[in-house]
Structure 1
Amino acid sequence: MRSFILLGAVLPFAQAIRIIQANDDGWAEANARTLFNSLSAAGHDIVLSAPAENQSGTGSSDAAPKQVDADGCEFSSCPGGSPPTGANSSDPRLNYVNSFPVTSMKNGIDVTGPNLWNGAKPELAVSGPNVGSNVGPTGLISGTVGAASYAAHTAKIPAIAFSGRSGDPTAWDAPTPLHSKVYADLALNLTTTLINSGAPYLPDDVFLNVNFAAVSDSSCNDASQFKFIFTRVNTGLLSAPDTEWCGSTRLPWEVDVIYLRGGCHVSVSAGDANDKSTTEAAKQKVVSDKLKSLLTCL
């Protein structure tokens, strides 16, 4: 198996930009920290602003952060009684917000990021990679998707929600799981391709819902084995036609690609940040044009 560390070196150069990162599994979870390290190593000015605790399934909930309770942050990453927001003592780019994923993303966009960027706002928002898939109707209750749709719709910042089928919540200081490394490689590849396409990175009110297939020691254990498939969030049975892609005006359903087809696939859906459904065909085409060097047909 080739080294994951080398993947960033062989990807096309991407202009370094300011990126805000959130998730719903908590600021100390391995998937988020592995992607943070990968994007940082690629030269991006990234700031993590994520919940103090696991907040999976909280959708678009938003509430003022509260003082951390006596149990402390997840994985003992901050002591009990810590303030509502805080930063890693050795790296101010790593921040917790004791509230929901949307609140964490909002705080990162409006407060933490600008404080570290001399008042500037992020140029791109990423959420995840989530522990577990967020395909189809699951996205409606996902905090990972909620954070990305908030960034795209309310804050008007292009956003990507990353989710991976494999794994369990893992502490940042445990040995890095194989799936975290593979998912970080795949996320870096897509992020680099999108940045290289030039600003504006995505159409207004559009976020990308990106899901990675299962990883194991024996299959799909290297990012190079994966194929990126352009998909849609909902089935589309009663929807207007999609943009033409791979000879059809109906894109594959992301549930089908990740759960039913099998194989090493990444589903990439252009989501409508207003309601977390599939965006219109004209905006899908903008996305497919930007990512065409990465996308392939089933």
Structure 2
Amino acid sequence: MKFFTSLLSVLSLAACKSILLSNDDSWVSSEIRALYRELVADGHDVIMVAPASQMSSQGGAFIVPDSSDLDSDGNFGYVSAGDPAWGQDPDDPHIWYFGGSPSACISFAFEYLLPKSYSNVTIDLVVSGVNQGPNISPGYYTASGTISAAYSGIYRGYPAISFGGSNLNNSFFQDSSANDEYDPANIYAKKAVEIIDLLVDADLPSTVGINVNFPEVGYLLDNETECTDPVWKFGTMMNGGYFAPIVKYDSSSDTFSSSYKLFKDSTCNDGSGCNLPSEYDIFWARNCTTSVTGFQVDVSLPGSMDTTVKGIFDGLF
């Protein structure tokens, strides 16, 4: 029995990974706190660095505080104007806020926090989310602060995964219960740990990230028991169409607003991925299925396309 107990301890130690967790909904959103809790319970060492305020739809905007103090209240007033521009949660020293955008939070972690407070610990995986809202297709890839935190990690050579959910409610973590099995934040967190446990030991190519979007679950449905354990389905970000932001004009008020549109005449890049179902179609099927897709931050053209484009400029080079 003593040997068996020791073996379990060794296996547990081997499985423990160092994870950097962020988001764009702020450090006090229900979803990120639920995911932090579940990752720690799963045995991982988690350092959480997230914006002090809501930073949705900032894309890769690199926003940093311009003074040592916050110039406005953080989300739900958990920190206030005049408080330090970065700091820790009083109840957990591994939870940090930063008065900037998601991509800046990742930089703050790697360039300042990890060297200063964590002896330059090696991060095994960058995790972003779970977002309060989905991040579907290339239009959201470029607009999403959630995904920007992931690819900001990838640019530094770290594997990364981003999560979007279907709960659009901007909720405060102290208003949620960890024991509520139908709370979407709790369902998403437990499911996220499933795929994170596979990813932390995977040999993911250095320029590749994973994007996950959860369906409506629990209380988001008329019958809260209808979907509490959504299945996984692998697809591609772009195949036959993508969702992208557009400007919408209101003639009655002579004003513009933002909206989204599905562009169905778009096609995916060359390769076998074109045979996969699109992320958009998986998500909007609304059949208790979670979309899982890969994305690449290497924006160089594949060799065959390079040759084609170069041929357009024949005689110029």
Please classify the TM superposition score into its range, dividing by the shorter chain length.
0.7 to 0.9
**Computing the radius of gyration over CA atoms, which structure comes out larger, 1 or 2?**
2
Find the aligned partners of 1:64 and 1:182 in 2 and give their Cα distance.
33
The correspondence for 1:194, drawn from 199, 202, 205, is 199
Query: Is the Cα contact below 8 Å between 1:61 and 1:100 reproduced in 2?
Result: yes
Superposed, 1:48-197 pairs within 5 Å as: 48-67=48-67, 68-69=69-70, 71-136=72-137, 137-152=139-154, 154-176=155-177, 178-195=183-200
SS of 1:65's equivalent in the other structure is coil
Find the aligned partners of 1:77 and 1:35 in 2 and give their Cα distance.
19
Further displaced range: 97-106 or 86-95: 86-95
Deviation at 1:199, TM superposition (A): 4.5
TM-score (norm 2): 0.75
Percent identity at matched positions?
27
Aligned match of 1:208: 210
Measured on the aligned residues, the alpha-carbon RMSD in Å equals 2.4
Q: Does 1:242 align with 2:272?
A: yes
Higher RCO (CA < 8 A, seq sep 6+): 1
* CA deviation profile, 1:55-108 (whole Å, cap 9, x unmatched): 000000113324454642111111221122111123121111101010011212
Query: Is the Cα contact below 8 Å between 1:20 and 1:109 reproduced in 2?
Result: no
Find the aligned partners of 1:26 and 1:133 in 2 and give their Cα distance.
16
Instruction: Give the letter for the 2:39 counterpart.
Output: L
SS of 1:83's equivalent in the other structure is coil
* CA deviation profile, 1:168-211 (whole Å, cap 9, x unmatched): 1111211247110111011011101223xx353x1111110110
Find the aligned partners of 1:138 and 1:104 in 2 and give their Cα distance.
19
Query: Is the Cα contact below 8 Å between 1:127 and 1:160 reproduced in 2?
Result: yes
SS of 2:107's equivalent in the other structure is helix
Find the aligned partners of 2:236 and 2:50 in 1 and give their Cα distance.
27
Find the aligned partners of 1:66 and 1:75 in 2 and give their Cα distance.
22
Cα distance change, pair 116–167 in 1 and its aligned pair in 2 (3 A): same
Instruction: Give the letter for the 1:29 counterpart.
Output: S
Query: Is the Cα contact below 8 Å between 1:114 and 1:121 reproduced in 2?
Result: no
Aligned match of 2:260: none
Aligned match of 1:31: 31
Find the aligned partners of 1:264 and 1:63 in 2 and give their Cα distance.
36
SS of 1:50's equivalent in the other structure is strand
Instruction: Give the letter for the 1:42 counterpart.
Output: D
Find the aligned partners of 1:45 and 1:165 in 2 and give their Cα distance.
27
Query: Is the Cα contact below 8 Å between 1:149 and 1:274 reproduced in 2?
Result: no
Cα distance change, pair 38–221 in 1 and its aligned pair in 2 (3 A): farther
The correspondence for 1:262, drawn from 281, 286, 292, is 286
The gaps in structure 1 that reach 5 residues or longer are: 1-11, 244-248, 281-298
Query: Is the Cα contact below 8 Å between 1:39 and 1:46 reproduced in 2?
Result: yes
Q: Does 1:231 align with 2:232?
A: no
TM-score (norm 1): 0.79
The gaps in structure 2 that reach 5 residues or longer are: 1-10, 241-266, 304-317
